[in-house]
């Protein structure tokens, strides 16, 4: 499959691209296009606005641009949500939340990659590094969670052993408590 190197959208002036982005993301109509308002801006409205400004863009170019901009918007929203979630974390909840945030970021990054075929090799490398970093966070969070579970199980095992000696409980009963109640298999 051949890859496009430039989109007609890339050739538009930056100010016009900003207006198109606001139309797509914020559903904001430009002041000089108010007479065309019929609800939220649609792709054909963006094409018509470009034509009004003296530029020709295809429906498919606007469609690809729209998918890319909406994906970026979702990534920004997810980042904001992740920052807000992380702000009130306790040490106990942090690994689970980190793992969820890393998985969400990975999914959004992959969605973004799938929605756009105009990546340079440098951009592909950066996205791959971001996915690698997210996977690393997820793995470290899993390791931490497993370590915490193991630590709790060891503490429970010691508490059971101490209590068993103190109360003179049969070792078989202690073994059954360890296995059935705490899930500790010795």
Sequential DSSP letters for 39-95: SS--HHHHHHHHHHTT----HHHHHHHHHHHHHHHHHHHHHHHHHHHHHT--TTTHH
pTM of the model: 0.47
pLDDT score at 86: 60
Q: Number of C-alpha atoms within 13 angstroms, CB side, residue 126?
A: 6
pLDDT computed for residue 1 by the predictor: 40
The tokens for 52 are: 């009004």
pLDDT of residue 50: 94
The 8-class DSSP code of residue 9 comes to T
Smallest CA-to-CA distance from 5 within 104, 116, 92 is with 116
Query: pLDDT tens digits for 128-164?
Result: 777 777 777 777 777 888 888 888 888 888 887 888 8
- Kindly tell me the number of DSSP H helices and DSSP E strands found in the chain: 6, 0
As a whole number, mean pLDDT of residues 105-116 equals 71
**Residue 45: count of CB within 10 angstroms of its CB:** 21
Examine the pLDDT at 123 and tell me if it is beyond 90.
no
> What's the pLDDT band for 127 if we cut at 50, 70, 90?
confident
User: What average pLDDT score do residues 85-101 get?
Assistant: 65
Q: Is it the case that residue 124 has pLDDT exceeding 80?
A: no
Distance CA 174, CA 183 (A): 12
Q: Is the pLDDT of residue 3 over 60?
A: no
On the question of pLDDT at 2 being above 50, the answer is no
18-22, 76-80, 103-107, 176-180: the lowest-pLDDT one: 76-80
Other Cβ atoms within 10 Å of 29 Cβ, number? 20
In this prediction, residue 81 carries a pLDDT of 66
For the cut 90, the answer to whether the pLDDT of residue 49 exceeds it is: yes
Are the beta carbons of 154 and 172 closer than 8 angstroms? Answer: no
Give the per-residue pLDDT at 170. 85
Output the pLDDT for position 52. 92
Residue 72 has pLDDT above 60, yes or no: yes
Measured CA to CA, the distance from residue 67 to residue 177 in angstroms comes to: 56
> How many angstroms separate the CA atoms of 9 and 111, rounded?
21
- Give the distance, in angstroms, between the CA of residue 110 and the centroid of all CA atoms in the same chain: 9
Q: How many CA atoms lie within 13 A of 124 on its CB side?
A: 7
Contact call for residues 108 and 74 (beta carbons, < 8 A): yes
């Amino acid at each position: 499959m051949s890859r496009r190197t430039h989109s007609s959208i890339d050739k538009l002036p930056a100010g016009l691209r900003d207006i198109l982005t606001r139309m797509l993301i914020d559903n904001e109509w430009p002041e000089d296009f108010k007479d065309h308002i019929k609800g939220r801006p649609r792709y054909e409205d963006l094409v018509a606005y470009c034509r009004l400004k003296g530029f020709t863009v295809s429906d498919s170019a606007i469609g690809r641009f729209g998918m890319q901009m909406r994906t970026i918007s979702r990534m920004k929203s997810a980042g904001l949500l992740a920052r807000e979630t992380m702000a009130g974390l306790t040490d106990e909840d942090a690994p689970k939340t980190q793992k969820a945030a890393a998985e969400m970021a990975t999914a959004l990054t992959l969605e973004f990659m799938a929605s756009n075929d105009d990546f340079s090799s440098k951009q592909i490398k950066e996205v791959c590094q971001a996915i690698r970093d997210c996977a690393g966070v997820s793995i470290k969070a899993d390791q931490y969670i497993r370590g915490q579970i193991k630590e709790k199980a060891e503490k429970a095992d010691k508490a059971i052993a101490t209590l068993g000696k103190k109360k003179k409980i049969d070792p078989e009963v202690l073994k059954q408590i360890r296995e059935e109640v705490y899930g500790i298999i010795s």
